[in-house]
Amino acid sequence: MRVLVIGGGAREHAICKAVCDSGGELYSVMKNLNPGIKRLAKDCFIHNETDAEKVLEYALKKKIELAIIGPEAPEEAGVTNVLEENGIKVASPSKEAAEIETSKEFMRNLMEKYKIKGSVKCRVFSDAEMAKEFIEMLDGEVAVKPIGLTGGKGVKVAGDHFNSIEEAVKYAKEVIEKKIGGHSKVLIEEKVVGEEFTLQAFCDGNAIYPMPAVQDHKRLLPGDKGPNTGGMGSYSHKSGILPFMTPDDYEEAATILQKIVEALKKEGRQYKGVIYGQFMLTASGVKVIEINARFGDPEAMNVLPLLKTNYLEICMAMVEGNLSNKKISFENKSTVCKYVVPEGYGIKPVAGKEIKVNEEKIRENGGLLFYASVNEENGKIYTTTSRSLAIVGIAEEIEEAEKICEKCLQFVEGEHIFIRHDIGKKELIEKRIKHMEMLRG
């Protein structure tokens, strides 16, 4: 099957690998040349991924039978819609269905309208004075969020990014005035406290098939300090749940995703593709932090390498609406993924520095390598301002997977790189378990 994958990050490298492992003939549209995808693909078109007309032109020329969209921006730009209108199957949501991610206002309203459990106190404002009243009512214990897409970097949370009502109001005003995320509006949510986890599910418009849960690390620095990033690394456990969760928590999150998919259908926005829930496990159950209309990055790299079922068959089942008839399974293994990012990433990244990657040594030591945003010139790899590459270790237990990941990271050398080494380490995981025990009392 001729398959087009749109996007050029590490998540898309993992998707492309799954496509090739499933027997697909790979084509790619990406804005930067990902060296990993380049090697896997029959052909690459280096172009803006949100240019629906050009993507269509390329897909028609290459006689693409199935398209898969990695990032949210092309979905928002209607790439799915345009491809489908021209007879190409797409295993990703339409622009309308993807609004579950591209508008946090739409997501919260949908949850309220259909009385879906797991939402938080929240309101949208276009007037900073009114936002101030709501922030005061919540004692400043809030998250201040742009409505639209900001690449995971626009949200600020009390205690993490600001420490007073005044600062919260100031940022809310800035979001409105500067139209951060594309709208003159701001979403104020009550701050919820707990442990975050990601649940991704395949979805065919009706049924969902949830994958192993993953914990991402959004904060830049060890110990969960510093600004929010696109994600610095992640882990999963062979049980399918995380060490601080119970099977009931997992079920609760899966039920929320199922209800959201049903609500979207009732709204005439049938959802197909991977749906992603970012949840906070709190003392009073599972709360929704955000819903994404795609695989997570890095979370895709934790689950896709474990997939035992043919990925393209799952994609076709999502497109054709018969996921419930499909037997899907994952290897019962634990995974740890760590990103290598340019020094200063998230603040003032240093681009254009060489990274030496010994691919053979990484392979020999059992690690998986996924390239992200790098430039390759004359066989050498250089950083850009975004995340550079990720290494994944896989083993029975998280501890061993983490060791494999660290071992392989030794074969990525550069004077101007940064890695959050604490991800997947015993100390951090124990801290999370204790935190949850304390909250649950």
Where do contacts with ligand GLY occur on this chain (CB under 6 A)?
152, 216, 231, 292, 296-297, 299
Segment near ligand AMP (CB under 6 A); pick from 10-18, 152-160, 174-182, 420-428: 152-160
209 sits in which H/E element: strand 208-210
* ∠ CA 40-22-328, rounded to 5°: 140
192 binds, among ligand AMP, ligand GLY, none (CB under 5 to 8 A by kind): ligand AMP
> What's the rounded Cα separation, in Å, for the pair 8 and 35?
9
Q: Using an 8 Å Cβ cutoff, are 298 and 235 in contact? A: no
> What's the rounded Cα separation, in Å, for the pair 187 and 148?
10
* 141 forms part of the interface with ligand AMP (CB under 6 A): no
> What's the rounded Cα separation, in Å, for the pair 212 and 237?
8
Closest contact distance (angstroms) between CB of 62 and ligand AMP is 34
> What are the phi and psi torsion angles at 426 (to 5°)?
-50, -45
Nearer to ligand GLY, 128 or 155 (CB): 155
Nearer to ligand GLY, 299 or 406 (CB): 299
In 3D space, the residue among 332, 334, 336, 337 whose CA is nearest the CA of residue 395 turns out to be 334
217 binds, among ligand AMP, ligand GLY, none (CB under 5 to 8 A by kind): none
Total binding residues for ligand AMP by CB under 6 A? 15
Closest contact distance (angstroms) between CB of 82 and ligand AMP is 27
144 binds, among ligand GLY, ligand AMP, none (CB under 5 to 8 A by kind): none
Among 185, 217, 218, 272, the residue binding ligand AMP under the rule CB under 6 A is: 218
Closest contact distance (angstroms) between CB of 155 and ligand AMP is 4
* 191 forms part of the interface with ligand AMP (CB under 6 A): yes
3-state secondary structure of 425: coil
> What's the rounded Cα separation, in Å, for the pair 16 and 260?
28
Residue 214, both tokens: 């993953």
Which residues touch 94 (CB under 8 Å, ≥6 apart)?
A: 75, 78, 80, 81, 84, 269
350 binds, among ligand AMP, ligand GLY, none (CB under 5 to 8 A by kind): none
Among 12, 189, 195, 249, the residue binding ligand AMP under the rule CB under 6 A is: 189
Which 8-state DSSP code applies to residue 91? S
> What's the rounded Cα separation, in Å, for the pair 216 and 115?
28
292 binds, among ligand AMP, ligand GLY, none (CB under 5 to 8 A by kind): ligand GLY
Q: Using an 8 Å Cβ cutoff, are 321 and 206 in contact? A: yes
Among 198, 234, 278, 373, the residue binding ligand AMP under the rule CB under 6 A is: 278
Nearer to ligand AMP, 215 or 365 (CB): 215
Among 120, 165, 328, 439, the residue binding ligand AMP under the rule CB under 6 A is: 120
Closest contact distance (angstroms) between CB of 404 and ligand AMP is 26
| 2-6 sheet: strands from edge to edge | 43-46, 25-30, 2-6, 66-69, 89-90
* 290 forms part of the interface with ligand AMP (CB under 6 A): yes
Residue 267, both tokens: 């709204």
Nearer to ligand AMP, 196 or 406 (CB): 196
* 192 forms part of the interface with ligand AMP (CB under 6 A): yes
Segment near ligand AMP (CB under 6 A); pick from 23-31, 191-199, 237-245, 373-381: 191-199
| 329: exposed, middle or buried (Cβ count in 10 Å: 0-12, 13-18, 19+) | exposed
Residues facing 186 on adjacent strands: 125
Nearer to ligand AMP, 102 or 228 (CB): 228
Which residues touch 355 (CB under 8 Å, ≥6 apart)?
A: 340, 374, 381, 382, 383, 388, 389, 412, 413, 414, 417
157 binds, among ligand GLY, ligand AMP, none (CB under 5 to 8 A by kind): ligand AMP
* 228 forms part of the interface with ligand AMP (CB under 6 A): yes
Segment near ligand AMP (CB under 6 A); pick from 127-135, 190-198, 368-376, 424-432: 190-198
Closest contact distance (angstroms) between CB of 281 and ligand GLY is 17
Which residues touch 288 (CB under 8 Å, ≥6 apart)?
A: 107, 111, 118, 119, 120, 256, 277, 278, 279
Q: Using an 8 Å Cβ cutoff, are 197 and 237 in contact? A: no
Segment near ligand AMP (CB under 6 A); pick from 2-10, 108-116, 150-158, 318-326: 150-158
Closest contact distance (angstroms) between CB of 161 and ligand AMP is 9
In 3D space, the residue among 413, 415, 352 whose CA is nearest the CA of residue 385 turns out to be 352
3-state secondary structure of 369: strand
Q: Using CB under 6 A as the criterion, which residues of the chain lie in contact with ligand AMP when the complex forms?
A: 120, 143, 145, 152, 155, 157, 189, 191-192, 196, 218, 228, 278, 289-290
